[in-house]
Amino acid sequence: MRDLNFFNSFIKDKKSKNKIVSVLLIAIIVIFGAAISSVVYLEILISSERSGIETNNKLLSSKSVSKIEENLNNGEEQARALTEFLSQVKSAKEYIDKSTDITTKEILSIFNSLPENVSISSFVSNTGQVSMQCETGDRKGVASTISNLKKLGLEEVYVPSIVTVEKDGTLKYRFMVSGKIREGENNEYD
Protein backbone atom coordinates (compact mmCIF):
# COMPACT_ATOMS: atom_id res chain seq x y z
CA MET A 1 0.00 0.00 0.00
CA ARG A 2 0.85 3.31 -0.44
CA ASP A 3 1.62 5.62 2.24
CA LEU A 4 -0.67 8.32 2.50
CA ASN A 5 0.83 11.72 2.79
CA PHE A 6 -1.52 14.37 3.87
CA PHE A 7 0.85 17.09 2.71
CA ASN A 8 1.05 15.67 -0.75
CA SER A 9 -1.36 18.20 -2.22
CA PHE A 10 0.66 21.01 -0.70
CA ILE A 11 3.87 19.62 -2.15
CA LYS A 12 2.39 19.42 -5.67
CA ASP A 13 1.10 22.97 -5.43
CA LYS A 14 4.50 24.07 -4.26
CA LYS A 15 6.22 22.34 -7.20
CA SER A 16 3.85 23.96 -9.71
CA LYS A 17 4.35 27.31 -8.03
CA ASN A 18 8.11 26.85 -8.27
CA LYS A 19 7.80 26.10 -11.98
CA ILE A 20 5.69 29.25 -12.55
CA VAL A 21 8.07 31.37 -10.52
CA SER A 22 11.06 29.91 -12.41
CA VAL A 23 9.45 30.61 -15.78
CA LEU A 24 8.48 34.15 -14.74
CA LEU A 25 11.97 34.78 -13.38
CA ILE A 26 13.57 33.57 -16.62
CA ALA A 27 11.16 35.73 -18.65
CA ILE A 28 11.98 38.79 -16.51
CA ILE A 29 15.71 38.14 -16.89
CA VAL A 30 15.37 37.77 -20.70
CA ILE A 31 13.26 40.95 -20.96
CA PHE A 32 15.65 42.85 -18.72
CA GLY A 33 18.65 41.58 -20.76
CA ALA A 34 16.94 42.57 -24.01
CA ALA A 35 16.20 46.03 -22.62
CA ILE A 36 19.80 46.50 -21.46
CA SER A 37 21.21 45.31 -24.80
CA SER A 38 18.78 47.64 -26.67
CA VAL A 39 19.89 50.59 -24.56
CA VAL A 40 23.56 49.74 -25.17
CA TYR A 41 22.94 49.33 -28.94
CA LEU A 42 21.06 52.66 -29.12
CA GLU A 43 23.81 54.37 -27.12
CA ILE A 44 26.39 53.09 -29.63
CA LEU A 45 24.26 54.40 -32.53
CA ILE A 46 23.85 57.79 -30.85
CA SER A 47 27.60 57.98 -30.23
CA SER A 48 28.42 57.19 -33.88
CA GLU A 49 25.88 59.78 -35.09
CA ARG A 50 27.41 62.39 -32.76
CA SER A 51 30.89 61.71 -34.14
CA GLY A 52 29.49 61.96 -37.71
CA ILE A 53 27.86 65.30 -36.87
CA GLU A 54 31.10 66.58 -35.31
CA THR A 55 33.02 65.53 -38.42
CA ASN A 56 30.52 67.31 -40.68
CA ASN A 57 30.66 70.45 -38.50
CA LYS A 58 34.46 70.44 -38.69
CA LEU A 59 34.26 70.03 -42.46
CA LEU A 60 31.74 72.86 -42.77
CA SER A 61 33.81 75.16 -40.61
CA SER A 62 37.06 74.28 -42.37
CA LYS A 63 38.88 76.69 -44.64
CA SER A 64 38.29 74.60 -47.75
CA VAL A 65 34.54 75.12 -47.55
CA SER A 66 34.98 78.83 -46.96
CA LYS A 67 37.33 78.95 -49.97
CA ILE A 68 34.75 77.14 -52.06
CA GLU A 69 32.09 79.64 -50.98
CA GLU A 70 34.49 82.51 -51.71
CA ASN A 71 35.28 81.11 -55.16
CA LEU A 72 31.57 80.67 -55.83
CA ASN A 73 30.88 84.28 -54.83
CA ASN A 74 33.80 85.48 -56.99
CA GLY A 75 32.47 83.43 -59.88
CA GLU A 76 29.04 84.98 -59.48
CA GLU A 77 30.57 88.47 -59.45
CA GLN A 78 32.61 87.69 -62.55
CA ALA A 79 29.53 86.31 -64.28
CA ARG A 80 27.65 89.52 -63.48
CA ALA A 81 30.55 91.64 -64.73
CA LEU A 82 30.81 89.60 -67.93
CA THR A 83 27.05 89.88 -68.45
CA GLU A 84 27.26 93.65 -68.08
CA PHE A 85 30.25 93.78 -70.42
CA LEU A 86 28.40 91.63 -72.95
CA SER A 87 25.39 93.95 -72.86
CA GLN A 88 27.70 96.94 -73.38
CA VAL A 89 29.35 95.21 -76.33
CA LYS A 90 25.94 94.39 -77.80
CA SER A 91 24.75 97.98 -77.44
CA ALA A 92 28.01 99.25 -78.97
CA LYS A 93 27.61 96.81 -81.85
CA GLU A 94 24.02 97.92 -82.39
CA TYR A 95 25.17 101.55 -82.36
CA ILE A 96 27.90 100.80 -84.89
CA ASP A 97 25.49 98.82 -87.07
CA LYS A 98 22.98 101.69 -87.03
CA SER A 99 25.65 104.30 -87.65
CA THR A 100 26.04 105.08 -91.35
CA ASP A 101 28.76 107.71 -90.93
CA ILE A 102 31.72 105.74 -92.23
CA THR A 103 32.27 102.21 -93.47
CA THR A 104 35.23 99.89 -93.25
CA LYS A 105 35.92 100.43 -96.93
CA GLU A 106 36.08 104.19 -96.35
CA ILE A 107 38.49 103.74 -93.44
CA LEU A 108 40.73 101.52 -95.56
CA SER A 109 40.62 104.11 -98.36
CA ILE A 110 41.72 106.82 -95.93
CA PHE A 111 44.58 104.66 -94.62
CA ASN A 112 45.68 103.73 -98.15
CA SER A 113 45.66 107.40 -99.23
CA LEU A 114 48.31 108.36 -96.66
CA PRO A 115 51.92 108.77 -97.86
CA GLU A 116 54.41 106.04 -96.93
CA ASN A 117 56.31 108.20 -94.44
CA VAL A 118 53.16 109.04 -92.41
CA SER A 119 52.09 106.78 -89.54
CA ILE A 120 48.81 106.98 -87.61
CA SER A 121 48.78 106.78 -83.82
CA SER A 122 45.03 107.28 -83.39
CA PHE A 123 41.90 107.35 -85.55
CA VAL A 124 38.50 108.68 -84.44
CA SER A 125 35.28 108.77 -86.42
CA ASN A 126 32.36 110.61 -84.88
CA THR A 127 29.12 111.81 -86.53
CA GLY A 128 30.51 112.48 -89.97
CA GLN A 129 33.86 113.80 -88.74
CA VAL A 130 37.18 111.96 -89.05
CA SER A 131 40.21 112.85 -86.91
CA MET A 132 43.66 111.27 -86.98
CA GLN A 133 46.79 111.76 -84.91
CA CYS A 134 49.71 111.25 -87.32
CA GLU A 135 53.49 111.39 -87.31
CA THR A 136 55.92 112.01 -90.19
CA GLY A 137 59.59 112.73 -90.71
CA ASP A 138 59.16 115.83 -92.88
CA ARG A 139 56.75 118.69 -93.65
CA LYS A 140 56.01 117.26 -97.07
CA GLY A 141 54.26 114.32 -95.33
CA VAL A 142 51.83 116.76 -93.67
CA ALA A 143 51.07 118.52 -96.96
CA SER A 144 50.68 115.23 -98.87
CA THR A 145 48.29 113.90 -96.23
CA ILE A 146 46.04 116.97 -96.52
CA SER A 147 46.13 116.85 -100.32
CA ASN A 148 45.37 113.11 -100.51
CA LEU A 149 42.42 113.36 -98.08
CA LYS A 150 40.91 116.19 -100.12
CA LYS A 151 41.34 114.15 -103.32
CA LEU A 152 39.66 111.23 -101.56
CA GLY A 153 36.52 113.32 -101.04
CA LEU A 154 36.76 114.56 -97.46
CA GLU A 155 35.57 118.15 -96.94
CA GLU A 156 36.96 120.81 -94.65
CA VAL A 157 40.29 119.02 -94.20
CA TYR A 158 42.47 120.99 -91.80
CA VAL A 159 45.37 120.56 -89.41
CA PRO A 160 44.66 122.21 -86.05
CA SER A 161 48.14 121.51 -84.63
CA ILE A 162 51.64 120.51 -85.65
CA VAL A 163 54.25 119.72 -83.01
CA THR A 164 57.93 119.11 -83.64
CA VAL A 165 59.36 116.29 -81.51
CA GLU A 166 62.90 115.00 -81.37
CA LYS A 167 62.80 111.21 -81.41
CA ASP A 168 65.95 109.07 -81.46
CA GLY A 169 68.04 112.09 -82.58
CA THR A 170 65.78 112.92 -85.55
CA LEU A 171 63.03 115.48 -85.88
CA LYS A 172 59.50 114.14 -86.20
CA TYR A 173 56.34 116.09 -86.86
CA ARG A 174 53.22 115.08 -84.95
CA PHE A 175 50.05 116.54 -86.32
CA MET A 176 46.32 116.18 -85.96
CA VAL A 177 44.30 116.18 -89.19
CA SER A 178 40.51 116.37 -89.33
CA GLY A 179 38.00 116.21 -92.13
CA LYS A 180 34.30 115.99 -92.75
CA ILE A 181 32.68 113.14 -94.64
CA ARG A 182 30.46 114.37 -97.46
CA GLU A 183 26.79 114.11 -96.62
CA GLY A 184 24.22 112.74 -99.01
CA GLU A 185 26.69 110.59 -100.94
CA ASN A 186 27.23 106.88 -100.79
CA ASN A 187 30.76 107.57 -99.53
CA GLU A 188 32.03 104.24 -100.83
CA TYR A 189 35.52 105.44 -101.74
CA ASP A 190 37.25 103.37 -104.36
Is the predicted pLDDT of residue 190 greater than 50, yes or no? no
Q: Are 136 and 126 in contact (CB under 8 A)?
A: no
Q: Are 181 and 101 in contact (CB under 8 A)?
A: yes
What integer pLDDT is reported at residue 5 of this predicted model? 57
Is the predicted pLDDT of residue 120 greater than 90, yes or no? no
CB atoms within 10 A of CB 147: 13
Superfamily of domain covering 104-180: General secretion pathway protein M, EpsM (3.30.1360.100)
pLDDT tens-place string over residues 46-88: 999 999 998 888 877 776 767 777 888 888 888 888 888 888 7
Give the pTM.
0.44
Q: Where are the domains of the chain?
A: 1-61, 62-95, 104-180
CA atoms of 44 and 54, how far apart (whole Å): 15
pLDDT tens-place string over residues 20-54: 888 899 999 999 999 999 999 999 999 999 999 98
Could you tell me the pLDDT band of residue 4, with boundaries at 50, 70 and 90? low
